[in-house]
Amino acid sequence: EIVMTQSPATLSVSPGERATLSCRASQSVGVNLAWYQQAPGQAPRLLIYRASARATGIPSRFSGSGSGTEFTLTISSLQSEDFAVYYCQQYNNWPPVAFGGGTKVEIK
Amino acid sequence: QVQLVESGGGLVKPGGSLRLSCAASGFTFSDFYMSWFRQAPGKGLEWISYISSSDLSYSNYADSVKGRFTISRDSTQKSLYLQMNSLRHEDTAVYYCATVSADGAFYFDNWGQGTLVTVSS
Query: Which of A46, A56, A96 lies nearest to residue B108, judging by beta carbons?
Result: A46
Instruction: Say which amino acid occupies B12.
Output: V
**Which residues does residue B70 pair with via DSSP β-bridges, in sequence order?**
B83
Q: Do A43 and B44 touch (CB under 8 A)?
A: no
CA distances from A55 to A16, A94, A97, B36, B84 (A): 22, 21, 19, 20, 32
pLDDT per residue over A17-37, tens digit each?
999 999 999 999 999 999 999
pLDDT per residue over B68-113, tens digit each?
999 999 999 999 999 999 999 999 999 999 999 988 899 999 999 9
**How confident is the model at residue A95, as a pLDDT?**
86
CA distances from A19 to A9, A12, B43, B75 (A): 13, 9, 22, 42
CB A50 within 8 A of CB A63: no
User: Confidence band (pLDDT; 50, 70, 90) for B65?
Assistant: very high
The answer to whether residue A64 neighbours chain B at the CB level (below 8 Å) is: no
> Which residues from chain A sit within 8 angstroms of residue B44, using beta carbons?
87, 99-102
CB B117 within 8 A of CB B51: no
**How confident is the model at residue A10, as a pLDDT?**
97
> Which residues from chain B sit within 8 angstroms of residue A87, using beta carbons?
44-45
Percent of chain B with pLDDT over 70: 100
Cα A51 from Cα B84, distance rounded (Å)? 34
CB A85 within 8 A of CB A75: no
**How confident is the model at residue B104, as a pLDDT?**
87
**How confident is the model at residue A82, as a pLDDT?**
96
Residue from B40, B55, B36 nearest B98 by CA: B36
User: According to the 3-state scheme, what is the secondary structure of A8-42?
Assistant: CCEEEECCCCCEEEEEEECCCCCCCEEEEEECCCC
Residue from A77, A81, A84, A89 nearest A103 by CA: A84
pLDDT per residue over A29-85, tens digit each?
999 999 999 999 999 999 999 999 999 999 999 999 999 999 999 999 999 999 999
